[in-house]
Amino acid sequence: MRGVTEFVSLEVDNGVGTIRLDRPPMNALNRQMQEELLELAAEATRRDDIRAVVVYGGEKVFAAGADVKEMSTMSYVDMAPVARRLSAGLGAISTIPKPTIAAVTGYALGGGLEVALSTDRRIVGDNAKFGVPEILLGIIPGGGGTQRLARLIGPARAKDMVYTGRFVDAQEALAIGLVDEVVPADQVYSRALEYAGQFANGPALAYAAAKKAIDGGLDTDLRTGLDIESDVFAGLFATEDRTIGMQSFIENGPGKASFTGR
């Protein structure tokens, strides 16, 4: 099955969903694309045949930012009521309670980088370039860039990128922890599918619990984070996969369980 909107699509193969950005030539993320990302993130969340998600912009570019022409006509009165919706759209992938991977070739700038930041892992081509150049327009990142970037690479590095608007190449991005793997550009999508594929038959509820514990803990203090972990940990003892996993371990050793996702 395939979920399709005008500029964003969702295709599923062997348990892995691909959310594809497709608004040539640069995948500029206008408000329609932001709404479509919200729609397809919700669909990927609902569908039991999707266990992991890859976000991909194509062979040449991931996304070169939000649609500046669209924003240039907006006043404060126009932006104020929709700013949170913009942030939600560019961060939509973060709401999917499944492993998510950004497969990045070419530019991931501004809103494009913010979409990539909303995933769990970033696998990028050796031709990839990253940046938050909004400062050059007299604004700041508004789709989660100041928050997710600082949490990922630390406030000093985030401020350098935000203040200067400079581009970071793939190797620097790897060195500062902005991305997780660098591969030849023509292998980005296949590597992302390979990584995502390992979750296709895994314990879906345990992945969701792990994500909730890690992401929720990062947003609060240690004591509260530990409480979140304890709650979701205990909840997994009500799942079919916990029974299957432990019984398989006792009988056959680790790594041999056939999970149901329930």
Q: Which residues are catalytic?
A: 66, 111, 114, 134
In 3-state terms, what secondary structure has residue 138? coil
End-to-end CA distance of the chain: 21
Return d(Cα 232, Cα 213) in angstroms, integer: 7
Which amino acid type is present at position 114?
E
Cβ atoms 55, 123 nearer than 8 A: no
Return d(Cα 11, Cα 15) in angstroms, integer: 10
In 3-state terms, what secondary structure has residue 191? helix
HEC secondary structure over 59-105: CCCCECCECHHHHHCCCHHHHCCCHHHHHHHHCHHHHCCCCEEEEEC
Token pair for residue 177?
């922890």
Cis ω before 25 (30° cut-off from 0): yes
Pairing of strands 168-169, 8-13: unpaired
